[in-house]
Amino acid sequence: MPAELIDGRAIAKKIRADVAERVKKLAESGVKPGLAVILVGDDPASAVYVAAKGRATEEAGMYSLTMRLEADTSQSELLAHVDALNDDPRIHGILVQMPLPKQIDPDFVIRSVDPNKDVDGFHPINVGKMLVGERDGFIPCTPAGIQVLLKECGVETPGKHCVIIGRSNIVGKPMAALMMQNTTDANCTVTVCHSRTKDLREHTRSADILIVAAGRSGIVTGNMVKKGAVVIDVGTNRVKDEKSKTGTRLEGDVDFESVRKVASLISPVPGGVGPMTIAMLMANTVRAAELSLSLR
């Protein structure tokens, strides 16, 4: 039997409905959660992501501020904007869209965001809290969303071998940190594979849960997957498609047709992990607003 599909859109909708309820509750205390997104330059893909985040923020009943800065913005100008947002009581979450132009050091910018407003979960304080298992920080949206997908689909994780392909600070590393925690929605034995891993197949073949975040179309094929494995495809690769109106289409890292024949559960691209990332950003923002009440 081919693998069942994980419906990321439906699960994300549930998360967004919960966020909307919490936004209503905060209104009773006179608080409207606010998310500021800063876009530097005119990278078309980033502009699409930023617009989608703004729309989702407004749909959730939150205050959305999108700041568009010129591509030649200096690091000190950007930092001045971040500082102002750190002090702005209307704003509970701040996100600086990556990648940044080369004159700006992304690590410096990430460190300049108030950790209490770091809804991306990239600040070293929040990364550290996640690693040591403290739950009062912010967890990066994509891995947090994947953990929710697994839970919502009833995937039993304790004792399972979770293999992650990719070691970025955005997906691979935080994913590994989450899946190894001593919690009921994790407790996996984790293997992290990356560009220097020898014999990728040897590792992927032993995965009960395989999470693929390499940004390489078709890096995982059916013969690399154990029968009955759960496969999460994080990759978003824009590829040529003459049949599509735009001439391109989005595809994941997993060779969907061959992997679907062996896996038990698989997340499609699009419609799997992607919708969860924005939903978790909304969840982190409403949480930042809730936390701001206790910091008053």
* Annotation says 181 is catalytic: no
Least Cβ distance, residue 213 to ligand NAD (angstroms): 4
Nearest to 53 by CA among 266, 280, 219, 231: 280
Cβ proximity to ligand NAD: between 160 and 173 the closer is: 173
Cβ proximity to ligand NAD: between 49 and 63 the closer is: 49
Beta strands in the chain (DSSP E): 4-5, 34-40, 63-69, 93-96, 161-165, 189-193, 209-212, 230-233, 237-240, 248-251, 265-266
Q: What's at 126, amino acid-wise? A: N
Residue that is written with structure tokens 């001593």 in the block: 182
Least Cβ distance, residue 7 to ligand NAD (angstroms): 15
* Annotation says 97 is catalytic: yes
Cβ proximity to ligand NAD: between 240 and 296 the closer is: 240
Residues in Cβ contact with 178 at an 8 Å cutoff, skipping those fewer than 6 apart: 130, 139, 143, 144, 147, 186
State the virtual CA torsion across 117, 118, 121, 124 in degrees, nearest 10. Answer: -110
Least Cβ distance, residue 24 to ligand NAD (angstroms): 27
Cβ proximity to ligand NAD: between 39 and 213 the closer is: 213
Q: Which parts of this chain interact with ligand NAD (CB under 6 A)? A: 142, 165-168, 170-172, 193-195, 197, 200, 213-216, 219, 234-237, 273-274, 277
Neighbours of 35 (CB within 10 A): 29
The values of phi and psi at residue 140, to 5°, are -50, 140
* Annotation says 120 is catalytic: yes
Q: 241-267 burial by CB neighbour count: b if 16+ within 10 A, else e? A: eeeeeeeeeebbbbbbebbbebbbbbb
Least Cβ distance, residue 77 to ligand NAD (angstroms): 26
List 118, 120, 208, 233, catalytic entry: 120
- Bridge-based pairing state of the strands 248-251 and 237-240: antiparallel
Cβ proximity to ligand NAD: between 78 and 176 the closer is: 176
List 53, 129, 160, 173, catalytic entry: 53
Least Cβ distance, residue 215 to ligand NAD (angstroms): 3
Active site members: 53, 97, 120
